[in-house]
A and B are shown apart, each in its own frame.
Chain A
Amino acid sequence: MTKEKNRNSGLGALSIKNVTKVYDPEGVNVMAVDNCSMEIAGSEVCMIVGPSGCGKTTLLNAIAGFHSVTEGSIHLDGELLCGPSKPLADQGADRMVVFQHGALFPWKTLQENVAYGPIVQKVLGSREAMDKAGTMLAEAGLGDFLTKYPGEVSSGMARRAEIVRALINDPKVLLLDEPYRAMDALTKQIMHESLLETYDRTGVTIFFITHDLEEAIFLGDKVHIVTTRPCQLKKTVEVKIPRPRSYETQSSEAFRKLLEEVSDAVHEEAVKAFQAGEREMA
């Protein structure tokens, strides 16, 4: 398939309007997200940066349909996902999540994991799905590991396979929740390059939560800095570094300036969060 044919071009625009989420376990009101709005264009790489436990994951869960919203609405390409009339979005293959701790099924091989989506959706027969999974894994450099179980491969490979498992469903949006958190800097670098390569090929909209500022700037078109809990949009930094980007980008002057700008904004919030004694949740 050619790049153009595969590209998602412009699809997957997320519009988050005045979203508020209040958790109310046993009457203790915890406001996780407060009147948060952001516009994410189709095929944009949108990085969400903020202190630990500030409600970033809550926002992601609302988009994915894991949690309801208390107020506000979220639209995907103009269609309502959730809003006042329908607080909980339907879960769907148009928004695929890559989880913080990884969620490849341990009892399936990498190939079976990737083939799972098309099989249960009945878009492909199991043989076709397995073939396609094999091809896509090979494209991601995992051709030699098709019959391995997730427990047999490195965390980097597992995460890469998980992204392939998401992409085989042709999602409009890829939701990533700190997927590279536990990785060392060198592995992270390789994962970043592979994600950028995937993005350049598919043009899928990416909603990416992270603590890592360099990661945010290196990968993102926009970096949204959010406040400590309750989560609100504090500042948006546009990253005007042209693509394709390589690791050398990270030593450029433009990169350094952006890093400074983002650091200043995040630091203020981190201090606030620390002083509030926020327990790290996500």
Chain B
Amino acid sequence: MTSTKKSFFAKLMGQVTLKRGVSAILIFLVIWHVGALFDDWFGVDIIGIGLVPPPADVFAAFLEVIPKIGYWQSWVSSFSRVLTGFLVAMLIGIPFGLLLAVNRYFRGLFFPPFEILRPIPPLAWVPASLIFWPTNEMSIAFVTFLGAFFTIVINVLGGARSIDISYLRAAQSMGASQFDLFWKIVLPGTLPSIFTGAAVGMGITWEVVLAAEMISGGGTQGGGGLGFFIWNSYMGGSLEQIVVGMISIGIAGYLSSSAIRKLGYFMMPWRRLF
């Protein structure tokens, strides 16, 4: 009985949120439309928006690219680059951050070089990695990896170091071994920070992959990615397609962060109350 009640409320809440979301997007479209056509109607340009193609044109351009395989190939190649870079960054970054947090010698050895490399923006690595890595693809993946890696490590390190010492003391008094401490206290205690790092890192990965694709020119047989799609539209002078590319990135980024949020919700049941 209570469960049906709850789901009813959940549905209602969902509907309200959905309505708000939809109306916000509609209002945005109206402003965009008015802004873009202001010049035609009143002969005065709104600086900054005047040259933007109106939403209807962009929508038409969208319909035009949707059946084209090249557009979807851009999605696939950008997504696979982001996922590769991101997953490798997680796989290396989480253990690396945890080791920095729990082992004083490891920290002494690796933290200083890490801190010197960290402030270098990932895009500053692009020329060097284009030279050092044998293929374009590998250099893009490497730069993407860097984008997420430093953020993930810093978050993991900070999260693990800020675990309440009482948890460790309590566990040790109860007879936990070093192994238990690590797997059952340090790791779950760091999980929220791991997910924060992952969410931020994912955002940076998208920024980096797009920029890297534009710079490297993507090149090879339709595997240019969404960054190259935008760049190509710019070269071809298609304003509508530029905006189509931008919106596509927005959607892609949104899908990636919701996937991380879902995973976090699933893996941290104790945080669902907040």
**Interface of A toward B, CB cutoff 8 Å:** 64-66, 91-93, 95-97, 99, 101-103, 105-108, 116-117, 120-121, 149-152, 165, 169
Contacts and interface: CB of A to CB of B under 8 A. Distances in A.
Contacts of A92: 173, 175
Contacts of B169: 64, 66, 91, 97, 99, 103
A99 B191 CA distance: 23
Nearest to B164: A103
B177 interface: yes
Given A103-B166, A107-B188, A120 B175 contact: yes
Nearest to A61: B169
> Would you call the interface of chain A mostly helix, strand, loop, or mixed?
loop
Given A93-B174, A107-B270, A165-B174, 19 more contacts: A64-B173, A65-B173, A91-B173, A96-B173, A97-B169, A99-B166, A101-B164, A102-B166, A105-B167, A105-B185, A105-B188, A106-B270, A107-B189, A107-B191, A120-B174, A120-B180, A120-B184, A121-B175, A149-B269
Contacts of A102: 166
Interface string B188-207: 11010000000000000000
Contacts of B175: 92-93, 117, 120-121, 169
B173 A97 contact: yes
B116 interface: no
Interface string B48-78: 0000000000000000000000000000000
Contacts of B185: 105
Contacts, number: 67
Interface string B131-173: 0000000000000000000000000000000001011011111
Nearest to A99: B166
B173 A95 contact: yes
